[in-house]
Structure 1
Amino acid sequence: MIEIAVIHGPNLNMLGRREPEIYGSRSLEELNKALQKYAEGLKIKITIFQSNHEGEIVDFIHEGYNRFQGIVINPGGLTHYSIVLR
């Protein structure tokens, strides 16, 4: 079975609580449940990971090098300054 890593970057754990008028009212937990359901329908296994720390995200990617067939990442604020994740 194909396994995909879904990675949420910094502050995404605050979805639904932080500025819901901008980011919406759906929590990260609700989003993850919807992602799991969607993946099940495609017969794809997903592993979801969230961290507010760039190094933890990089470690997770490295640890999954031979495990995952793909990665979907929303790096959040790291897109502005992270050289490692570009």
Structure 2
Amino acid sequence: MPTVYVLNGPNLNLLGQREPEIYGRDTLADVEARCRAIAEREGFELVFRQTNNEHEMVDWIQEARQSGGVVINPAGFSYNSVPVLDALKMCEGPVVEVHISNIHKRAETEARWRAESIMSPAATGVIAGLGVAGYELAVDYVARRLKA
């Protein structure tokens, strides 16, 4: 049975508490439950993880590189983590980068660097600004690719 990894970067453990006006009130556990429902419906395994540590994220991506696919919200790693980028480049299945907020719009009112994820060149696709629904869309996309 194929496995899809949903990997979450720094501070997403505080989803629902941290800046709810930007990230919403759903928790990471809520997101995981929705992703698991899709995995169950579509018949694949789901590994769902969060870390604040770059080395741990790299290890998980290396573990996932020959799986069915990777959905990643790199969060703060998006802007400066070359090791995470290099690990993503080794993935054989689809990689979908997810951002809860629209990082491009946020760059209009915050620091410009927020709009420039260095992870995007390693991704099959990017979903940004659709809230936590972006995770569901990403997992659904990977499921479709697995069935194709």
Superposed CA deviations along residues 8-57 of structure 1, whole A, max 9, x for unmatched, are 11111110000111100000011101110111111121111110011001
Could you tell me which residue of structure 1 aligns to residue 36 of structure 2? 36
Runs of at least 4 residues off by over 4 Å: none
The AA in structure 2 aligned to 1:73 is: I
Q: Percent identity?
A: 40
C-alpha deviation, 1:63, in angstroms: 3.1
C-alpha deviation, 1:65, in angstroms: 4.0
In structure 1, the gaps of 5 or more residues are: none
Cα distance in structure 1, aligned partners of 2:38 and 2:2? 14
What is the TM-score normalised by the length of structure 2? 0.54
Cα distance in structure 2, aligned partners of 1:35 and 1:65? 19
Higher helix share: 2
Could you tell me which residue of structure 2 aligns to residue 61 of structure 1? 61
| Alignment partner of 1:74 is 2:84 | no
| Aligned-pair Cα RMSD in Å | 1.2
In structure 2, the gaps of 5 or more residues are: 86-148
The AA in structure 2 aligned to 1:37 is: A
C-alpha deviation, 1:64, in angstroms: 3.7
CA contact (8 A) 2:9 2:74 kept: yes
Higher relative contact order structure (alpha carbons within 8 Å, sequence separation ≥ 6) = 1
- Specify the structure having the higher radius of gyration (Cα): 2
What is the TM-score normalised by the length of structure 1? 0.90
